Amino acid sequence: MANKIRLKIVLVAGLLLGLSSTASAFNWGGRSTGYLYEKLFNNMGEHYLSLLEDKATDNPNNLTSDKRSICLKRYGGILNDGVLDIRIALGYFDWTTGSNVGYSGRSYGLSPSMDIGAFEALKELLTSRCSGNARFCGFQQSSEGSSVFVRDVMIHGRRIQARVEIRFSSQSEILSDNLGRYREQQRQRTQYMENYFSKALREADAVFYFGHSRNGGGPDFAPPVFIGSTNKLDYSGYYKAQRPGFKKMLNALSSGSKQAPVLGLMSCASRDHFLSRTRAAAPNSGIITSMDVLNVDEVYTAMIGGVDALLRGQCQQSFYQSIRMTNNNQKFITMDGMFE
C-alpha cells in the first residue's frame, strides 16, 4: 500500500492498553494484547466476520454444469493432498504521516508499525469461537509454532486440514529502534520475511500479502526508505525507479515448478501497480487486488473474506461476494483469473 494511506481511526478511552514498543528477536508470536492498532484491527475483523456469518456456503452440485466444472477445477489442485495451505505475509506496514504519531500523551515517533498489531488481531480472530457460517475462526495453535493455526473443514464434501500461517515484518513498533538498536535484528527479520514470501509463492495453495504497495516498489518487508534526512519517502528515486519488492516477487513466481493458485495483493492500488506483469508470470493463479489508494480496513477485510471463502470452497459468485461485503469493498476490491 502506498504510504498515502488514509487510516480511519477513532481513538477512544481504553482503546490502547499496556502498549509495548518492542518485540524480541524472532519472537514471532509477540504478545496477546496491547500493541498499537491491535484493537482497531480486531474490531474491523469482528465486524466483517459478522457480515460473513449469514452468508451461505456453496454446494457445487447446485451450480450450473459449466460453473461447477470451473469451480472444481480451481479447487482440484488445491485440495488433492488433503491440506489447504494458506500463508499470510504482513509487510513492514508503517503509518507514515510526515510527523510524529502520538496517543494519550505518548509519542510513537515517525512511522510506527501496524503489522504487529494486525498479527495479534488476526491470531485472535482465527482462534475465536465460530458463529454462524463464518470459517475464519475455530482454529487452534499448531505444535509447529505460535504463528501456525490449524482446523479441519469440510470443502465440497471432503474433510480437509486447513493450515494458516501468519508472519510479520517489523522488529518493533518504533521506527527509530528498528533503524537503531534493533538494526541487525530488523535486517534479519526483513530477510526472513522476503524468503518466507518467496517460498510461499512457490509452495502454498494461497498467499496473501498485506502491507504497502510503495507506489509499485512493494511488496515490501523493510523499513521505509526516506529522501536523505527528510521524513518523505523516496518514491521516485527508489521505490518507483527500482521496484525492489516487485522484482523479487516476479522472480519467485518465475523460479519454481509451482505457483500459488491464489494470490491476494492486499495493498493500495495493487491492480494498477502489479496485476499485468503478475498475471503474465503466473497465468494460472487467481489474483485479488485493490483499485485505489484505500483505507486500511478495505484491504484488511477483503483478505479476511478471501481466506474465509477458501475455507468454505466458495465458487465464482460467492467468492467474489466474500471479498466485497461492504460498500467500499464493492467499489475497490476485485479478482482476476480465479474462475475464468
What are the pLDDT digits (tens) for 59-117?
Answer: 999 999 999 999 999 999 899 999 999 999 999 999 877 788 876 566 788 899 999 99
Three cell numbers, residue 206: 494461497
What pLDDT score does 211 carry? 97
Nearest to 213 by CA among 202, 224, 203, 204: 224
Distance CA 223, CA 187 (A): 9
Question: What's the pTM?
Answer: 0.89
* Residues 6+ away with beta carbon under 8 Å from 131: 49, 50, 53, 137
pLDDT in tens, 208-265: 999 999 999 999 999 999 998 888 899 999 999 999 999 999 999 999 789 999 999 9
How many CB atoms within 10 Å of residue 74?
22
Q: Concatenate the DSSP letters of all residues of 43-95 into one string.
A: HHHHHHHHHHTTSPPP-GGGS-HHHHHHHHHHHHHHHTTSEEEEEEEE---B-
Q: Is 68 left (phi over 0), alpha (psi -120 to 50) or beta?
A: alpha
Sign of the Cα pseudo-torsion (62, 68, 71, 72, in order) = positive
The pLDDT tens digits of the residues spanning 257-275 come to 899 999 999 999 999 999 9
